[in-house]
């Protein structure tokens, strides 16, 4: 019977070949054997198909001739190879009695259709139905494959272990100034610029460095009031009130101490830089009139800068405040800087579906300059080792994620799992697996196809209310 099954399978393949398909994967007899007539093939059994006389992988179900007039070679059943499993072939050599040791539960369609029969039968193409023995079709949700089939499919299994799951999120960005490190030099009164220090836009200045000299009647009046109270030996609220007026006008502390030391009112007061940094803007001109709030200088400290990058919406859950980031300026090949994520902006860009990330990067040598292009690499991943499997082990249908658990002895159990983070070729398993279990990492889609086939057959049998053990009808049904 197994030989008949093999013959039927070969006939089905030959039918495709007869339609003009290339059947390179079909086993064939020795290509160097000459043409065989139907009568000569009788000794080897019935002719099951015809092959090209030159041994080429072309087949036909009926007699045929080559362009040069030679007849195609008839291939009898005895010259065809068997499609039986190795252990089944071994059973055949031991006699037909070995086949009767297992009980046939039912017969399934040879083409994989959800059609079963309680007795041997053939389909419309003449192919024998394949018997399903006890033990091959289980009710525990597992799939059983023979060692030969496992070896041919190349299925491999790996143990589920705890490991860190890390990934790199790459995104371009630009360097920007830290908004908290920008200051301006402006007056709180109406005055005149007498002179400006020899500094220009782009120069680096230090905190307390004189930038310009300012004259103001309001400032001179406040200085005279304070000097009068100081010379009169006033104490308490009177002296503090006079000094507070100078402080409210933002008079430099150095100018107030100089007034106390010399007890003379200067015509102009030097105005000092409020911080270290580069001059971004210089509007002060000698002799100009400056009103309250007019920006005379703008200074920025670049020893700490921001890097703004846009991260894709799908990668946003993997980024958190405090995550380490490597910055590589495009202008300096091979040079990198380390920073951390300081802020994830609350809004997405509707056009690009990206979120803006702010990274703070120390810039002590001030190599990074505003508007410079950089490439950022965010080290995303789990904080510690987690249960993880290879990405190839997951069967993802979109709405369902599952793995095939290797139960040993050729049995595989499909199991639904919940996934976490991905990275480095691995995916985190948050639910469904335990440490130490083995999962299939290669050829799992072939085993899954076997599982789906058996599930379809079982579902069909249940829907017709004819259990395989005691079927009521032998005709089966076709969808």
Average of pLDDT values for 156-180? Answer: 90
Strand pairing of 277-282 and 295-300?
antiparallel
Q: Kindly state the DSSP code that residue 71 receives in the 8-state scheme.
A: B
CA distance 140 to 134: 14
Q: Is the pLDDT of residue 103 over 70?
A: yes
Eight-class DSSP state of 5: H
Lowest mean pLDDT across 1-10, 189-198, 288-297, 304-313: 1-10
Q: What is the mean pLDDT of residues 85-111?
A: 59
At the second CATH level, the architecture of 188-292 is: Beta Barrel (2.40)
CB 478 within 8 A of CB 108: no
* Cβ atoms within 10 Å of 3's Cβ, excluding its own: 16
> CB of 130 within 8 A of CB of 108?
yes
The per-residue pLDDT for 137 is 58
pLDDT per residue as tens digits for the range 29-83: 343 344 444 444 445 567 878 888 887 778 788 888 888 888 988 888 766 544 4
Q: Strand runs (DSSP E) across 104-248, as ranges?
A: 104-108, 116-117, 130-133, 143-144, 156-159, 161-163, 166-177, 182-186, 191-196, 204-205, 210-215
User: What count of other Cβ atoms lies within 10 Å of the Cβ of residue 52?
Assistant: 18
Q: Is the pLDDT score of 199 beyond 80? A: yes
CA 3 to CA 393: how far, in whole Å? 36
Task: Quote the pLDDT of residue 136.
Answer: 61
What does DSSP assign to residue 180? G
Mean pLDDT within 2-7: 42
| pTM for this prediction | 0.56
**Sheet of 210-215: strands edge to edge?**
269-272, 210-215, 191-196, 289-290
Contact 383, 126 (CB under 8 A): no
Q: What is the mean pLDDT of residues 5-18?
A: 41
C-beta neighbour count of 325 within 10 angstroms = 25
Q: Bigger pLDDT: 238 or 264? A: 264
The class of domain 156-165+382-439 in CATH terms is mainly beta
Q: 298, 211 in Cβ contact below 8 A?
A: no
Cα separation of 43 and 34, whole Å? 16
Confidence of residue 10 (pLDDT cuts 50, 70, 90): very low
Q: Please list the residue range(s) of the chain that carry CATH number 2.40.420.20.
A: 156-165+382-439
pLDDT in tens, 334-365: 899 999 999 999 999 999 999 999 999 999 88
What is the pLDDT confidence band of residue 9, given thresholds at 50, 70 and 90?
A: very low
Per-residue pLDDT, 15 = 39
Q: What is the pLDDT of residue 68?
A: 86
**Helix, strand or coil, per DSSP, at residue 304:** strand
Is 80 exceeded by the pLDDT of residue 456? no
The per-residue pLDDT for range 291-328, each reduced to its tens digit, is 999 999 999 999 999 999 999 998 888 898 998 999 99
Query: Mean pLDDT throughout 426-438?
Result: 88
Give the C-alpha separation, 73 to 54, whole Å. Answer: 9
Tokens describing residue 189: 């009164």
- Distance between CA 246 and CA 225 in Å, rounded? 9
Quote the percentage of the chain above a pLDDT of 70: 75
Residue ranges of the chain assigned to CATH 2.40.50.100: 188-292
- Spatial distance between the Cα atoms of 40 and 76, rounded to a whole number of angstroms: 9
- When mean pLDDT is compared over 109-123, 142-156, 353-367, the highest value belongs to 353-367
Q: What is the per-residue pLDDT for 170?
A: 92
Residue with tokens 């979120």: 355
In the chain, which residues fall in CATH 2.40.30.170? 169-178+302-374
Q: For 194-227, give one letter per residue: b (16+ CB within 10 A) or e.
A: bebbebeeeeebeeeebbbbbebeebbebbeebb
- Say if CB 30 and CB 78 are below 8 A apart: no
Q: What is the pLDDT of residues 376-389, one digit of tens each?
A: 999 887 777 888 88
Lowest-pLDDT range, 106-110, 192-196, 317-321? 106-110
Interval 253-291: pLDDT, tens? 999 999 989 999 888 999 999 999 999 999 999 999 999
CA dihedral angle for residue 440, residue 445, residue 446, residue 450, rounded to 10 degrees: 100
Query: What average pLDDT is seen over the chain?
Result: 79
In the chain, pLDDT over 90 holds for what percent of residues?
Answer: 34
DSSP one-letter string for 407-472: EETTEEEEEE-EEEEEETTEEEEEES--TT-EEEEESHHHHHHHHHHHHHHHHHHHHTT--TTS-S
Residue 163 has pLDDT above 80, yes or no: yes
d(CA 396, CA 401): 4
Cβ–Cβ < 8 Å for 70, 78: no
Task: Tell how strand 337-349 and strand 401-408 pair up.
Answer: unpaired
Select the CATH number that applies to the domain covering 169-178+302-374 from these four: 1.10.10.10, 2.40.30.170, 3.20.20.10, 1.20.1270.10: 2.40.30.170
DSSP per-residue letters across 209-244: -EEEEEE-HHHHHHHHHHHHHHHTT--THHHHHHHH
């Amino acid at each position: 019977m197994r030989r008949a099954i093999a013959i039927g399978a070969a006939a089905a393949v030959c039918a495709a070949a007869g339609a003009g398909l290339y059947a390179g994967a079909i086993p064939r007899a020795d290509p160097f054997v000459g043409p065989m007539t139907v009568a000569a093939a009788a000794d080897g059994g019935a002719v099951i198909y015809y092959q090209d006389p030159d041994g080429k992988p072309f087949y036909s179900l009926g007699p045929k001739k080559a362009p040069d007039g030679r007849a195609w070679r008839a291939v009898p059943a005895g010259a065809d190879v068997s499609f039986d499993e190795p252990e089944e072939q071994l059973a055949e050599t031991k006699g037909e009695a070995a086949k009767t040791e297992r009980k046939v539960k039912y017969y399934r369609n040879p083409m994989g259709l959800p059609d079963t029969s309680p007795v041997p039968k053939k389909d419309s193409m003449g192919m024998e139905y394949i018997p399903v023995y006890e033990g091959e079709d289980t009710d525990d949700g597992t799939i059983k494959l023979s060692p030969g089939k496992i070896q041919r499919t190349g299925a491999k299994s790996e143990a589920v272990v705890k490991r860190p799951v890390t990934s790199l999120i790459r995104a371009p960005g630009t360097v920007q100034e830290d908004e908290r490190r920008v200051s301006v030099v402006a007056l709180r009164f109406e005055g005149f610029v007498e002179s400006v220090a020899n500094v220009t836009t782009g120069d680096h200045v230090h905190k307390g460095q004189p930038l310009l000299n300012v004259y103001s009647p309001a400032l001179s009046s406040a200085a005279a009031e304070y000097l009068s109270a100081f010379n009169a030996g006033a104490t308490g609220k009177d002296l503090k009130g006079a000094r507070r007026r100078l402080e409210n006008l933002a008079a430099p502390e150095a100018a107030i101490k100089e007034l106390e030391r010399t007890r003379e009112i200067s015509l102009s007061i030097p105005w000092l830089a409020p911080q270290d940094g580069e001059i971004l803007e210089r509007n002060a001109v000698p002799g100009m009139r400056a009103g309250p709030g007019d920006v005379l200088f703008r200074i920025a400290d670049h020893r700490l800068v921001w890097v703004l990058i846009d991260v894709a919406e799908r990668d946003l859950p993997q980024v958190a405040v405090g995550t380490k980031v490597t910055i590589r300026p495009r202008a300096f090949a091979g040079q990198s800087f380390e920073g951390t994520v300081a802020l994830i902006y609350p809004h997405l860009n509707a056009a690009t579906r990206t979120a803006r990330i702010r990274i703070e990067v120390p810039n002590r040598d001030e190599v990074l300059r505003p508007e410079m292009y950089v490439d950022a690499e965010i080290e995303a991943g789990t904080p510690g080792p987690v249960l993880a499997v290879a990405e190839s082990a997951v069967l993802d249908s979109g709405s369902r994620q599952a793995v095939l658990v290797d139960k040993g002895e050729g049995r595989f159990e499909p199991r639904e799992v919940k996934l976490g983070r991905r990275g480095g070729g691995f995916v985190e398993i948050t639910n469904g697996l335990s440490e130490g279990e083995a999962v299939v990492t290669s050829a799992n889609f072939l085993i899954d196809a076997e599982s789906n086939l058996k599930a379809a057959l079982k579902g069909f049998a249940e829907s017709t209310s004819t259990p395989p053990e005691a079927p009521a009808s032998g005709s089966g049904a076709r969808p």
